Chain A
Amino acid sequence: EVQLVESGGGLVQAGGALRLSCAASGFTFGNYWMIWVRQAPGKGLEWVANIKQDGSERYYVDSVRGRFTISRDNAKNSLYLQMNSLRAEDTAVYYCTRGGYSVWGQGTLVTVSS
C-alpha cells in the first residue's frame, strides 16, 4: 500500500524550532519529487516547499524561505522539514505529498505559541 506518514509536530514557542518527518512506503521514494503543504486551522491550503528526486533542487514559498529547510534521505525513504525561527502564523497541519499530488499523508499539527 502506498503510504505517507508524518510525524514530529507539536507545541513550540515562537522563535523555536521543530523538525518534521515523513516516512514513505509502498513506492520507489527516490523516483519522485516530494512536497510539503500546510493548512492553518480553518483556512485553505498553502504550498510550502518541494525537493527534487536527488535533492539537487529545492523551492520554497517566500514566507518560509530562510527559516525552513526541506531535505530527504532516499536510503531511509524519508522526507524532512526543518523549521527554525517559528512564528505564530506557522501554526498549521503540515502534509507531505508525493510529486503529482495523488498521495498525501494524514498530516501533523504544529502549534506555535506566542
Chain B
Amino acid sequence: DIVMTQSPDSLAVSLGERATINCKSSQSVLYSSNNKNYLAWYQQKPGQPPKLLIYWASTRDSGVPDRFSGSGSGTDFTLTVSGLQAEDVAVYYCQQYYNTPHTFGQGTKLEIK
C-alpha cells in the first residue's frame, strides 16, 4: 500500500497569513501515460464529512475559493491556504488514488494563532 505522510500534524497561523501543509507519498503517484498526479486534498470540519478541495494535485473542485492551491509532483505535494480566514479552521487530508487502497494522510489540524 502507498503510505501518505503529512507534515506538520498541526499548524497555527494568523488570520490573513499563509498556511502550508505538506504531503509525501511512499511511491510516485504520477501516472506517466497521462502526466497526472493522482493526489487529492480534503478539508474536514467537526461533525461534517470531508470536502474535496483539490484533485489531480492542483485542480480546485467547483466552488472552492482560489485562496486554496495545490502543487507538487511525483511524491511531494503541498496545499497552500493564502490569506487564512476563520472558516478555514479544519483538519486537512491528502489522499492518493493512484492505487487501491486509496490511502489518506494522517491529517493536519489548522488553527488560528
**Interfacial residues, chain A to chain B (CB-CB below 8 A):** 35, 37, 44-47, 50, 59-62, 95, 97, 100-102, 104-107
Contact = CB atoms under 8 A, between A and B. Distances in A.
6 contacts: A44-B91, A45-B95, A47-B101, A95-B49, A101-B55, A102-B52
Given A101-B40, A106-B49, A107-B49, A44 B93 contact: yes
B107 A45 contact: yes
Contacts of A100: 52, 55
B55 A104 contact: no
B1 interface: yes
A45 B50 contact: yes
Contacts of B61: 102
Interface of B: 1, 40, 42, 44, 48-52, 55, 61-62, 91, 93, 95, 97, 100-107
B37 to A, nearest CB: 15
A50 B105 CA distance: 18
B49 A101 contact: no
Name which of B42, B95, B97, B101 has the most chain A CB atoms within 10 A of its CB: B101
B101 A59 contact: yes
B107 A44 contact: yes
A44 B105 CA distance: 8
Contacts of A59: 100-101
A107 B46 CA distance: 13
